[in-house]
């Protein structure tokens, strides 16, 4: 008996806010969603560790052109910390390095957390994807080699205690890109004098996107194709941090042909661009000499080749 015939991949444009489950890699979650939507082209907006759960925006079709937009966005996490035990990875997947008695109160944690708010320095963990001489740090760590890492400046906008459980607690943090929450947990443990490691991590927000809008693979599997498609956000959902540029019909036509248009804005600023019908066109960037230059546009099959002379 022959295998069932596989349907061809669909050309599908949009953004899926996925609530990733624990244990799944970002790529395996992406491939599972891609299969469900039978999408021709798919990508994610930055990885989430297998240990972590929560918000993982996925892009299909034209939205993949803007997948990097969220890499620089602020993130929000809910983290669970175990006091008294330090590990070589600063999380529950690592080998135990030391165990110390815990004589910490809820009030101690409330007093210490504000010390990690604002601009802080972090030493990146050895078990990270940062590279030294073209080789990721985790590769050195697996070989038992520790290399010197320069401190990096990150910004913690807010950090607050959510739950207290004696030798464990839960905190919420709103932080800049590049912040290692497991390093934050380990540093908090050292400040409390007993050490600590991260036992759970949930990403609850990226920029203006919130996990409350997200859907699990299991929930998606329970829907039919039209219901799943209805959950997709438009590609410009990734670009909430950018200001809008609404073009005239003539300027929109020029930009669709790769030409810059006159605009008044600071040099270097990027805009999400819409035509006279409020159709999303893509992203454009201001040049020093006052032109709004196409940076990354969605493809269209409805471009009129006739341009008025300028």
Output the pLDDT for position 304: 38
Output the pLDDT for position 126: 66
CA 48 to chain centre: 8
Query: Which one, of 162, 179, 171, 58, lies nearest residue 118 by Cα?
Result: 179
Residue 156 buriedness (CB in 10 A; 0-12 / 13-18 / 19+): buried
**pLDDT tens-place string over residues 244-263:** 999 999 999 999 999 999 99
Intrachain domains 14-73+209-237 and 75-206 with the same fold: yes
**pLDDT tens-place string over residues 207-243:** 999 999 999 999 999 999 999 999 999 999 999 999 9
Question: What are the residue boundaries of the structural domains of the chain, listed by start?
Answer: 14-73+209-237, 75-206, 242-297
Residues in the chain with pLDDT values less than 70: 1-7, 126-129, 141, 143, 301-310
Q: Which CATH superfamily is domain 14-73+209-237 in?
A: Pseudouridine synthase (3.30.2350.10)
Output the pLDDT for position 136: 74
What is the four-CA torsion angle of 90, 93, 96, 102, rounded to 10 degrees? 60
Output the CATH code of domain 242-297: 2.30.130.10
Q: Which residue carries 């804005």 as its tokens?
A: 265
If phi > 0 it is left, if psi is from -120 to 50 it is alpha, else beta; for residue 84 that is: left
Task: Please indicate, yes or no, whether the overall pTM of this predicted structure exceeds 0.85.
Answer: yes
Domain 75-206 part of CATH 3.40.50.10860 = no
SS3 assignment, position 227: helix
* Catalytic position from the list 49, 91, 187, 251: 49
- Among this protein's residues, is 305 annotated catalytic? no
The residues, any chain, with a CB within 8 Å of residue 222's CB and separated by 6 or more, are: none
- Which structure tokens are listed for 125? 């963990």
């Amino acid at each position: 008996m022959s295998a069932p015939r596989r349907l061809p991949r669909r050309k599908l444009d949009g953004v899926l806010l996925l609530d990733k489950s624990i244990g799944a890699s970002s790529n395996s979650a992406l491939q599972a969603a891609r299969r469900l939507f039978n999408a021709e082209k798919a990508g994610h907006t930055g990885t989430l560790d297998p240990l972590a759960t929560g918000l993982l925006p996925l892009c299909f079709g034209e939205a993949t052109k803007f997948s990097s937009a969220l890499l620089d966005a602020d993130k929000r996490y809910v983290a669970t910390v175990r006091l008294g035990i330090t590990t070589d990875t600063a999380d529950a997947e690592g080998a135990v390095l030391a165990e110390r008695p815990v004589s910490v109160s809820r009030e101690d944690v409330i007093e210490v957390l504000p010390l990690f708010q604002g601009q802080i320095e972090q030493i990146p963990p050895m078990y990270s994807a940062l590279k030294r001489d073209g080789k990721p740090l985790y590769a050195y760590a697996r070989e038992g080699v520790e290399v010197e890492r320069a401190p990096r400046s990150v910004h913690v906008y807010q950090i607050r205690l959510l739950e207290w459980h004696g030798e464990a607690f839960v905190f919420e943090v709103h932080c800049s890109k590049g912040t290692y929450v497991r390093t934050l947990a380990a540093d908090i443990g050292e400040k409390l004098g007993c050490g600590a490691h991260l036992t759970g991590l949930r990403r609850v927000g990226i920029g203006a996107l919130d996990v409350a809008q997200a859907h699990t693979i299991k929930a998606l599997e329970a829907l039919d194709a039209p219901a799943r498609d209805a959950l997709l956000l438009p590609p410009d959902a990734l670009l909430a941090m950018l200001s809008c540029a609404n073009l005239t019909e003539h300027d929109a036509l020029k930009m669709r042909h790769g030409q810059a248009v006159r605009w008044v804005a600071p040099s270097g600023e990027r805009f999400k661009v819409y035509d006279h019908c409020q159709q999303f066109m893509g992203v454009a960037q201001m040049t020093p000499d006052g032109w709004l230059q196409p940076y990354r546009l969605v493809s269209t099959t409805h471009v009129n080749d006739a341009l008025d002379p300028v």
